[in-house]
Structure 1
């Protein structure tokens, strides 16, 4: 039984395998580095405390059509416009001194009544039925800029003005204009019994930033798997094993064909 011929690793028939393997490794490495960078950036943003910075105009940090920039979470802003009282909603699950309550949120149309509006947390109430009437006409507010929430809470009753999270997709159902991708927590109560505070924000998901790190590891594992598949294929092609079964079968065929 003769051994099959050995194919050099740089034989042209292996060039496609080399190229595919290299491409998989490069793509997996770059995607892993991208996710790692996202994880590091999220940790840096979380460590920043911008709440004591001087207020700046809202337009300097966030445009009406812009995605929310993570680097400005908590930065104080000034905003002016026209109140949209019919868009008032109440965000449940907000505690104050151990008591359950609601955020009172009314959109403020920046620059005019028909322009895009940003939801403003005007204050805190123990019961929506006890909330004062929403303000009307021109208004100004100074407060902390926050990204729209995504706690995953489900609105069990869409017929009322109480919602479980301050999510743009929920608030926009109560207004007739576009909304900004974030909201403002007013430093001082605006027509509300008590001020809202950043301590009343829902806790951020523990694994929000960790998810990016796990994705990075997942991509690198995929790259290692691609290397393993490439190595197995190249090994099988360059060092094929003798086909013992085929050899045995040929011997059997010769025996059958020989005269008795």
Structure 2
């Protein structure tokens, strides 16, 4: 007498397929939620208002060769160094009180980092001529740390000192030092030593670029991609089960459709 066959779902080969499908599906779901968590964490960090926190030393916040720390947007920093007046540039298209004007930006060679400088937005002026002469000598400033602009707008005339945006790749052509991957906007309420902004209106936070809506978008896309892989693994398992049922003729009792 032929012993009854095990249902397809309980046969050894099928159990291996089930286990593999479950492992792949669980891994894809877990990795998707991990990437989603990273997306949410980065957006939360960028949205945090650090502007009224205690200033930190620039050297504690980032190094001269470090990428911009995404969780330090608006962080007040203190910077000591020497002005590099020959590297002064002016960023056009900046508003103050509804009026178009320019930012006056002068590099500050950071103390202890002789070959590296930080771009410092000293303030706003209606025109380049109104901005006055750039400062010289040593300085100690307190400023809000900001990531470089990245709109992709090209500098139509690289030979002058007027820039369409505050992009490191554009500004570095005007200085001999390496530049930090950030810039800082002088805090007009903080005590300054030789900030060189007497002729300038404050460049305050209302003039700073908004946080990008594409912040951490790659993590969100990775999450969706992992869940897509999980759905694909489930689909392959379903197709395998359907084909096996059709092949073995077990259809009625074991259908997975």
Question: What range describes the TM-score normalised by the shorter chain of this pair?
Answer: 0.7 to 0.9
* Counterpart for residue 246 of structure 2: 239
| Partner Cα separation in structure 1 for residue 108 and residue 85 of structure 2 | 9
Aligned to 1:119: 119
Counterparts in 2 of 1:90 and 1:13: CA distance versus 1, 3 Å: same
**Deviation sequence 1:78-135 (CA, Å, 0-9, x none):** 1001112222222222110011111111111111683211111111122224322222
Number of residue-to-residue matches in the alignment: 237
Query: Does residue 54 in structure 1 map to residue 54 in structure 2?
Result: yes
Match of 2:165 in 1: 165
Q: Secondary structure at the match of 1:206?
A: coil
Taking structure 1 as the reference length, the TM-score comes to 0.77
Deviation of residue 207 (structure 1)?
A: 3.9
What do you get for the CA RMSD once the two structures are aligned? 3.0
CA drift of 1:239 comes to 3.4
Structure 2 counterpart of 1:252: none
Unpaired runs of 5+ in structure 1? 243-260
Structure 1 pair 178–27 and aligned structure 2 pair: CA distance change class (3 A): farther
Return 5+ residue gaps in structure 2 as ranges.
189-194, 250-257
- Residue in structure 2 matched with residue 137 of structure 1 by the alignment: 137
**Which protein is bigger by CA-based radius of gyration?**
1
**Aligned-pair distance for 1:157?**
2.7
- Aligned twin of 2:203: 196
2 CA distance for matches of 1:152 and 1:106? 22
- 1:230/1:159 CA distance change after superposition, 3 Å: farther
- Tell me the TM-score normalized by structure 2: 0.77
Q: Contact 1:145–1:185 (CA<8 Å) still a contact in 2? A: yes
Equivalent in the alignment of 2:147: 147
Q: Deviations over 1:172-226 (max 9, x none)?
A: 2222222212211111362342121111012333343566435423431332123
